[in-house]
Each structure stands twice: as C-alpha cells, then as structure tokens.
Amino acid sequence: MKKKVNPAKFKIGNQIILKGERKRVKLEIASLYDYTKINIPIEVIRGLEDGPIMFISAAIHGDEINGTEIIKRISQRIKKKSLKGTLILIPVVNLFGFYNKSRYLPDRKDLNRCFPGTRNGSLGSQIANVFMKEIVSKCTHGIDLHTGAIHRTNLPQIRACIDDHQTKKMALSFGAPVIINSKLRDGSLREAARKKKVNFLLFEGGEALRFQDKIVKAGLNGCLSVMKDIGMLKTYENKTVKNLPFIAQSSYWVRAPHSGSFRILKKPGEHVEAKELLAVVSDPFGENPYNVYSKEAGVIVGLSEIPLVNKGDAMIHIATSHGNAKTKLKNNIVDVI
C-alpha cells in the first residue's frame, strides 16, 4: 500500500492546518436557490507527532444521525496533545438530507451511490467529488458511520472487506459484536476510498433520526479503539467488549410470507438456527397466522420497526457465517456492549 505522508501544512478548502493545531473548516459544496452557500462543517485536529491521517464521517444519509452524535463526543474527547497524526471529523456530509430529516438529496439521489463523483455532475456527484478530493484522497484510514434506514434498526456492526489484512485488523479492533465481510457497492464511499488505498470501515448501528446512547457509546468506543490500534492514541482501552465478534460472510433478509401485521419473537443480536420460528404474521384479529422462519443459521443484525407488511416486504436481516461454529454466540449480544 502506497505510503501517504502526514504533511507539515495540511490543506482543506482554503484553510491550512499546521501540526499541533485544531481548526474548524467550512468546505463549500453547493448553494441554495437564493445563492446561500452550503458548507460542510469539518474539524481538523493535528498532533505534533507524525501518525496516520484518519477521517470519521457521518450522515452521508442525512437522517442517520447516531454517527453525528458519535463525532460530537469524539471531538469533545480528543485533545491534540494526546494525538499522533491528523484526525478529520465530518459530523454531517449530506447537509440537504440533514436539514430535511431525509436520507436523500433534493433530487432523491442517494449520496452513497454517487462516489467518486465528478465536478460537473449531479448535485450528489459534485459533493462526492469535493469530498474525495479534499478529504478521502489525503487519508490513510477512514470510518463512515451509518444507522438502519428509516423505520429499521440495526445491531452495531462493521461492514468491511476483511479479506484485506489491515482492514480486518482495524475491524477487529473496533470491537463491534458483528463484522460482515461485505462486497463493495457501486458508487459507495467505501468503494471509492478503497480505490484511493484508504483502510476503511463502515459502522452501522441503531435507527435513523435518533440519538441512541447504547449505539453512540458502541460507535464512540469503537472509533477510539481503532485510533489506539493504529497508533493515533497512546492510551485507550475499550472495556465494553466482552465477546469475540461474530464474523459473517454474507447476510439475507427474511421476507413476509403474507400481508398482515406481525409479532417478532426475536431481538437484534440473537443467534438463530436454520428453520427457527422468528415471527408470526396474522390478520387484525390474530387469526389466519403465517409463521415466519429463518432460512439459514446466523445472528439477527437488523429488523423492521413497522409491524405492518405486504407480502414480500423485508422483515428481519440475518448475518450468516456458513457454519463457522467458533463465532457462534449464545446470548443477546446487544446487552454486552
């Protein structure tokens, strides 16, 4: 992997941040109808000593704001005296979605399908292009923070290409209860970062439009653990991790066998066997029930929070290890975070 140097003068937008400095930067990405500038708020914290260059970003889906709170707490926690290298914090990437409490950009585009972007493309493509040029391409490491989509909840989990040794080490050091070795998605920040040789993790946890303390703590502890592991922090011990993670090679959604309302019998983090009863769909009187079963064994990593389904709707997300018994978990792992 090509070595990126932590430069004496670090430039983002029109700002220069020297070693030992901490600065807020406004990165211009677009303007509103009345020509008001839209600037992404960024904080750059630089230690005096050399070390990795890492970005931590959130709300690339504008309503996924647990990560925004995680970054707020990281900013309050990190002192430049105890930092090696450069930390770049971006609490809200998709400002348009954030203003509207929406996942999307104003043209309904998903910003996380617009990377690496172009200078004169769609709004999403332009934002992606600036973000790549000004931030990602200058970094050695990156963590992007997400939650479930609206009305869905996710167990804290890391998604990464752990076939890469360094990424796997970083994923393990995060300490999330589940790691999914997931394929790259076209147009995602993760794919674009990997092409720029950035060691990259995607964290998922909780629901959209919430600050959930347990999830925020899992994300905060995870980011600090990674920073310690790669040498950015001298001291930090993640005392909340009690189990080895469940390492999944793939995942699948269990879908509704019939339209109706349902009762789920499982929680995120629970281990299920193949053909285990997960939920019951019924009519409004509780009659004509349809049992919902798992296909393969695994761990429940996501759920629909709306108990009303049409036939075929996604209900329960299960991560599978294809029979890797070593990573089986016995209990509800949410409670050990």
Stretch that binds Zn ion, among 31-39, 58-66, 130-138, 269-277 (CB under 5 A): 58-66
Please say which residue, 53 or 171, places its beta carbon nearer to Zn ion: 171
3-state SS assignment for residue 215: helix
Query: Does residue 191 bind Zn ion (CB under 5 A)?
Result: no
Distance CA 199, CA 91 (A): 19
Provide, rounded to whole angstroms, the least separation between the CB of residue 204 and Zn ion. Answer: 7
Please say which residue, 64 or 207, places its beta carbon nearer to Zn ion: 64
Please say which residue, 157 or 294, places its beta carbon nearer to Zn ion: 157
Which of 25, 45, 52, 61 lies at the binding interface for Zn ion (CB under 5 A)? 61
Please say which residue, 104 or 236, places its beta carbon nearer to Zn ion: 104
| CB neighbour class for 138 (10 Å; exposed up to 12, middle 13-18, buried from 19) | buried
* Site size toward Zn ion, by CB under 5 A: 3
Please say which residue, 61 or 84, places its beta carbon nearer to Zn ion: 61
**Residues across the chain:** 337
Query: Does residue 207 bind Zn ion (CB under 5 A)?
Result: no
* Pairing, β 314-320 against β 250-255: antiparallel
Query: Does residue 69 bind Zn ion (CB under 5 A)?
Result: no
Stretch that binds Zn ion, among 64-72, 127-135, 158-166, 327-335 (CB under 5 A): 64-72
Please say which residue, 46 or 103, places its beta carbon nearer to Zn ion: 103
CA torsion angle 159 162 164 168 (round to 10): 100
> For 265, what's the count of Cα atoms within 13 Å in the CB-facing half-sphere?
12
φ, ψ (nearest 5 deg) of residue 31: -140, 155
3-state SS assignment for residue 124: helix
Strand partners, 233: 83
Query: Does residue 152 bind Zn ion (CB under 5 A)?
Result: no
Which of 146, 152, 159, 194 lies at the binding interface for Zn ion (CB under 5 A)? 146
* Residue carrying structure tokens 């332009």: 126
Which of 43, 63, 64, 270 lies at the binding interface for Zn ion (CB under 5 A)? 64
Output the six-digit token pair for 319: 């991560």
Provide, rounded to whole angstroms, the least separation between the CB of residue 265 and Zn ion. Answer: 27
* Residue carrying structure tokens 């695994």: 298
Residues that bind Zn ion (CB under 5 A): 61, 64, 146
